[in-house]
Chain A
Amino acid sequence: DTEVTQTPKHLVMGMTNKKSLKCEQHMGHRAMYWYKQKAKKPPELMFVYSYEKLSINESVPSRFSPECPNSSLLNLHLHALQPEDSALYLCASSQAYPDRGITDTQYFGPGTRLTVL
C-alpha cells in the first residue's frame, strides 16, 4: 500500500483564520515532507521531518508551522496567511536510510487546495 492521505481536500480561509492541514501514511516511512505548488510550477519544498525531527526548513515564513506528532502523522498549522499563499499543498513520505546515503522514492498524497481570501 503506497497511500498517503491528506485532509481536507479543499480549504478556504481568511487572512485572520487559523487552520491546519493533516497528512497520514501507514507505510512505515520515517521521512515526511511538505511541499507547496503554484499553478504551472514544480513542487517547492517547505519542510522535511526525518524520524519525527524537523531536518529541513526551507526558510518558510513563520505563519506556516509544521508538527509531527508521531511517525505516521504530519500537520501544517496555518495562521495569518496572505492571498499569495493560495496553492496546492502536498504531503509526501519516503523511507529514510541515513546510513546509506540514498535518497528514496517519495510518495505524494492527493494534496490540499488552499485558497486565502
Chain B
Amino acid sequence: QKEVEQNSGPLSVPEGAIASLNCTYSDRGSQSFFWYRQYSGKSPELIMSIYSNGDKEDGRFTAQLNKASQYVSLLIRDSQPSDSATYLCAVGRLSGTYKYIFGTGTRLKVLA
C-alpha cells in the first residue's frame, strides 16, 4: 500500500462543473495536508493547506479533511480550462524533521 494514494486520472469535467479530487493516506500520525497544482513543465504551486477535520474554503477551492477515514479531498467549483493541470496531494509529518509524502498526482482536464 502506498503511503499517499491518488487516482492518476485523467479526470475530465466540463467547464463550469465541480471537479472532485481525492487523496488517501496510510499514516495516522500525519499532521498536515496540502494541495498543489502543477502545470506541465512548471513547479508545484500551493493551493490549500488543511490541518483540522472539516472543510476549508478559499475562493473556488474547498479542501476537506477526514482524519478518521484518512482522506483529504479538493473540490474545484466552476471549473475553468485554466484549471487543467496535475493536482498533487502532499501529507506532512514530523519524522525527525519535516517531511512531505507526495501522492502521484491526479491529472485534471477541464473541457471548454
Question: Could you tell me which A residues sit within 8 Å of B by CB distance?
Answer: 31, 41-43, 45, 48, 50, 55-56, 88, 90, 94, 96, 98, 101-111, 113
Contacts and interface: CB of A to CB of B under 8 A. Distances in A.
The binding surface of chain B is classed by DSSP as strand
Nearest to A101: B94
B88 interface: yes
Given A41-B104, A50-B98, A108-B44, A103 B92 contact: yes
Interface size classification for chain B: 20 to 34
Contacts of B45: 108
A102 B41 CA distance: 30
Contacts of B41: 88, 113
Contacts of B46: 105-108
A96 B44 CA distance: 20
